[in-house]
Amino acid sequence: MMRRRTTLLTGCTALVLALGATACGGGPVSAGGGDKALSGQTITVAGVWSGTEQKNFQKVLDAFTEKTGAKTQFTSTGDNVSTVVGSKIEGGNAPDVVMVPQVGVLKQFAQKGWLKPLSKKTEQAVDAGYAPVWKEYGSVDGTLYGLYFKAAHKSTVWYSPDALAQAGVKPRRPTTRC
C-alpha cells in the first residue's frame, strides 16, 4: 500500500516560514523552503486544538491563505493526536502538517517512516534563527523533521526541596526524554 508521508510534524513550520517569506518581499511563496508554489494548493493541517484555541488558530490559517493563495483545511485531533493521525496515515490520507504536542510522538512517527525531513534550506533557517535545543527537539537520529513553535510547562513537576530533605529523599534529574 502506498502511503503519503507527512511533510511536517511538530508545528506549522511551512506556514511559519511561508508567512515570514511573504513579509520579506514579493514573488511566489513556497512550502518549507522547497520549490513548490503554494498558490492554488490546499494544505491539510491537524492539531489538538478545539473550541477557542481552534478559532484563534483559524485566524493564523486565514492570514496564511490571504498571503499565499493556498487554502487550508484544519482537523482537530483532540488529545489523541498519535491515534487520529496514525489512522489517517495508515489509511493513505495523511495531513500535510501536524501539530504534535509531544517529542515522543515525533520520534514514534519518524521511526515508522511516516515523516519527510525538512529541506536543507529550512534547516539552515532553523540553524540561523533558533537555539540548538529547538532543532534537537524537532530531530530524530540527527534528521530534522519539524520545529516546535510553542512550549508550555504542563509537564513540569513542582516540589518542595525542604519537604523532600525532611523525608530523606534526594531529587534527581531525569536521564531520558520521551
User: Average pLDDT of the chain?
Assistant: 81
At the topology level, CATH places domain 13-153 in: D-Maltodextrin-Binding Protein; domain 2 (3.40.190)
CA–CA separation, 31 and 138 (whole Å): 17
Per-domain residue ranges of the chain: 13-153
Which residue ranges in the chain fall short of pLDDT 50? 1-4, 6-26
CA–CA separation, 46 and 31 (whole Å): 17
pLDDT digits (tens, 9 = 90+) for 126-152: 999 999 999 999 999 999 999 988 777
Query: How far, CA to CA in Å, does 146 sit from each of 78, 100, 135, 153, 170?
Result: 20, 9, 8, 20, 36
pLDDT digits (tens, 9 = 90+) for 87-112: 999 999 999 999 888 888 999 999 99
pTM: 0.68
**In terms of DSSP bridges, do strands 139-140 and 143-144 run parallel, antiparallel, or are they unpaired?**
antiparallel
